[in-house]
Structure 1
Amino acid sequence: MSAEVTADVWLPFREDEISGLPEGLNYRFWDGGPDFPADPAACAFYAVPYMKGAAVSVRPFAEMTSLSVVQTLTAGVDHVQGGVPSLRSGVRLCNARGVHEASTAELALTLVLASLRGVPGFVRGQDSEEWRSGFYPALADKNVLIVGYGAIGSAIEDRLAPFECARVVRVARSARTTARGPVHPFDELPALLPDADVVILSTPLNEATRGLVDAEFLARLKDGALLVNVARGPVVDTKALLAELESGRITAALDVTDPEPLPQGHPLWHAPGVLVSPHVGGSTSAFWPRAKRLLAAQLTRFAAGEPLENVVLTTD
């Protein structure tokens, strides 16, 4: 059934900022401010404000009694799942597959290369006018394990291709075969971890992945392995990771942490061998055009009564 002409659409962009929006819908701009742009009960399609936190994201849910679609602008939907029980039956929750792959994969490679090649130490050396020459690990000839092989994991492998890695191993929730080779299931991780020089986490956060990287997982890593997290902070047990970092046995590069934001005084800030970036995997100049194209395409389908893409779940 096509959208009614009176249906409201809440967008975190102004209508004139997005090309290709279908006619016949009432576009309301709301970027998470204290005042709603209109009656939430009239909203049929809600595009969640970006990077405004869980509390803001779900605040209108209970009042959205005519809602049909929740569209996030993130690859993960964990920040809105707490509000899903307050939604009416039949609401489709869609993620932003296709928006963040380029940016997040770029950062994953940046963190890998910066960590291996000692860039954080060079920056500190520059600050103190020290010439820190020497030999550093290369990405070439390394075994890389990608844990979470969806769209972002695949984009990370795209960018690994020129770096002459010895081997790239893929792991996801369930086994499958791709043009590049097999994707192993999570239950094979214990056997795969000891051979990995670099482990890149790009999983969604759900009950299967929360705490996935625990003390047992980390203990299976070889000495000198690098753990890179561009997924979600709670995928990693912070206490277990700190124990390994403080021993000096492994290193880590973290775009996400648990807790997040990382508070002042937290031991992760100064743990040996760790590089921390402030959850900027998706927030680059590449986000804006891709997010706007996604919204225009989804709303065109919505207005025409066509199936939406990226549907993660439909409420009961």
Structure 2
Amino acid sequence: MTDNSLARRPQVWISVPPQDIEGLPDAFSYVYWDGTGDFPADPADAVFYVVPYMKGPTAGALPLPRMTGVRVVQTLSAGVDHIAPHLHQLPPGVRLCNARGVHEASTAELTLALILASLRGIPRFVRGQDAEEWHSGFYPALADRTVLVVGYGSIGEAVEDRLVPFECEVLRVARGARTSPRGPVHALSDLPELLPRADVVVLTTPLTAQTRGLADAGFLARMKDGALLVNVARGPVVDTEALLVETEKGRLTAALDVTDPEPLPPGHPLWHAPGVLVSPHVGGSTSAFMPRARRLIRSQLVRFAAGEPLDNVVATS
């Protein structure tokens, strides 16, 4: 095969080394760019762009203004809030796809870990071990609790899958009311009624204009005394100042994989707020990520090459 024949093939910008993905269609030439350094080729030649993962909020958008021939932008994140604001820079009809199916397992695992760690006092035990202190006593269990999942999409469903063996009640909220195999899914407008019932509130929503600041002072005030807020969505879904008021009073506790601001800077009061457990936005970055990301990229490119409908289309420019 000649270099000229490769050059004539439509170009795919890919943020995973193409040699690491078996079964990529031969219809394309592949340009690897991980979001660092100079562009490896002319962005105008790209027809399909796989956005680099975990390179900050701006790196992935850098080539978009020059991608005049792109037809598909595929993120490797569940949320697209870092790319969606740049769609106006793209030609009409470009499809933006998210990574549904990639992060459900690992994010749901961490959600359960944060719930259990917070309820059962694991941070206190770790600090006690460091200080050689024995903190015995009674601690809350997850059993018999009511868990409210706000943002009942694929990640919310995966969270419930893992909650089932723990003998707790699950309430579900999504943008619009519907039914699910496990029971009713309530609309966001039902939150004022549901929040006082929940011992644990889990946020798994995407960051949109509707969900930015969703967990504000009013939302938090409706949560019952002693309830736990778990955020594995995006930091700005929660009003940080309002959360600090509630945790400083000791009325609520929180487990946060995402924060606003993020990364959380040294000296920020969330680091030492009572009853707050912070993890550094690691919900999706586990050993489960890469196998699922490779499968998604391969599947999408096979569909694109065949002219078939793509999965996970969330917006069109």
TM range (shorter): over 0.9
Q: 2:85 aligns with which of 82, 87, 105?
A: 82
Equivalent residue runs for 1:153-232 within 5 Å: 153-165=156-168, 167-232=169-234
Q: 1:246 aligns with which of 245, 248, 252?
A: 248
**Which stretch of the first structure deviates more once superposed, 53-62 or 291-300?**
53-62
Name 1:7's counterpart in structure 2: 10
Equivalent residue runs for 1:113-132 within 5 Å: 113-132=116-135
Query: Is 1:5–1:24's contact at 8 Å kept on the other side of the alignment?
Result: no
Q: 1:40 aligns with which of 20, 39, 43?
A: 43
Residues 1:65 and 2:68 aligned together: yes
Instruction: Return the alpha-carbon distance in structure 2 between the equivalents of residues 187 and 136 of structure 1.
Output: 33
Residues 1:152 and 2:155 aligned together: yes
Shift, 1:54, TM fit: 2.2
Instruction: Return the alpha-carbon distance in structure 1 between the equivalents of residues 245 and 82 of structure 2.
Output: 28
Equivalent residue runs for 1:253-264 within 5 Å: 253-264=255-266
Give, as a single letter, the amino acid of the residue that structure 2 aligns with 1:184.
H
- Provide closer, same or farther for how the CA distance between residues 146 and 5 of structure 1 changes in structure 2, counting only shifts above 3 A: farther
Instruction: Return the alpha-carbon distance in structure 2 between the equivalents of residues 124 and 251 of structure 1.
Output: 17
Q: 2:143 aligns with which of 140, 143, 158?
A: 140
Instruction: Return the alpha-carbon distance in structure 1 between the equivalents of residues 229 and 57 of structure 2.
Output: 27
Shift, 1:82, TM fit: 2.3
Instruction: Return the alpha-carbon distance in structure 2 between the equivalents of residues 226 and 36 of structure 1.
Output: 45
Query: Is 1:116–1:139's contact at 8 Å kept on the other side of the alignment?
Result: yes
Following superposition, which runs of at least 4 residues in structure 1 exceed 4 angstroms of deviation? none
* Structure 2 gap ranges (5+): 1-6
Query: Is 1:65–1:88's contact at 8 Å kept on the other side of the alignment?
Result: yes
- Provide closer, same or farther for how the CA distance between residues 23 and 217 of structure 1 changes in structure 2, counting only shifts above 3 A: same
Residues 1:19 and 2:19 aligned together: no
Question: How far does the alpha carbon of each residue in 1:61-104 deviate from its partner, in whole angstroms, 9 at most, with x for none?
Answer: 01001000000000000011222111111100000000000000
Shift, 1:20, TM fit: 1.4
Shift, 1:36, TM fit: 0.8
Instruction: Return the alpha-carbon distance in structure 1 between the equivalents of residues 285 and 218 of structure 2.
Output: 32
Q: 1:108 aligns with which of 98, 106, 111?
A: 111
The sequence identity of aligned pairs, in percent, is 69
Name 1:314's counterpart in structure 2: 316
**Which stretch of the first structure deviates more once superposed, 99-108 or 51-60?**
51-60
Shift, 1:24, TM fit: 1.8
Instruction: Return the alpha-carbon distance in structure 2 between the equivalents of residues 114 and 268 of structure 1.
Output: 17
Give, as a single letter, the amino acid of the residue that structure 2 aligns with 1:300.
V
Name 2:4's counterpart in structure 1: none
Instruction: Return the alpha-carbon distance in structure 1 between the equivalents of residues 67 and 286 of structure 2.
Output: 31
Instruction: Return the alpha-carbon distance in structure 2 between the equivalents of residues 43 and 160 of structure 1.
Output: 43
Query: Is 1:268–1:274's contact at 8 Å kept on the other side of the alignment?
Result: yes
Instruction: Return the alpha-carbon distance in structure 2 between the equivalents of residues 57 and 138 of structure 1.
Output: 42
- Provide closer, same or farther for how the CA distance between residues 5 and 109 of structure 1 changes in structure 2, counting only shifts above 3 A: farther
Structure 2 length-normalised TM: 0.97
Instruction: Return the alpha-carbon distance in structure 1 between the equivalents of residues 275 and 259 of structure 2.
Output: 15
* Structure 1 gap ranges (5+): none
Question: How far does the alpha carbon of each residue in 1:213-247 deviate from its partner, in whole angstroms, 9 at most, with x for none?
Answer: 00000001111000000000000000000000000
Shift, 1:5, TM fit: 6.0
Helix, strand or coil for the counterpart of 2:220? helix
Helix, strand or coil for the counterpart of 2:105? helix
Name 2:300's counterpart in structure 1: 298
Shift, 1:6, TM fit: 1.7
Name 2:236's counterpart in structure 1: 234
Instruction: Return the alpha-carbon distance in structure 2 between the equivalents of residues 83 and 192 of structure 1.
Output: 36
**More contact order relative to length (CA 8 Å, sep ≥ 6):** 1
Question: How far does the alpha carbon of each residue in 1:254-275 deviate from its partner, in whole angstroms, 9 at most, with x for none?
Answer: 0000000000000000000000
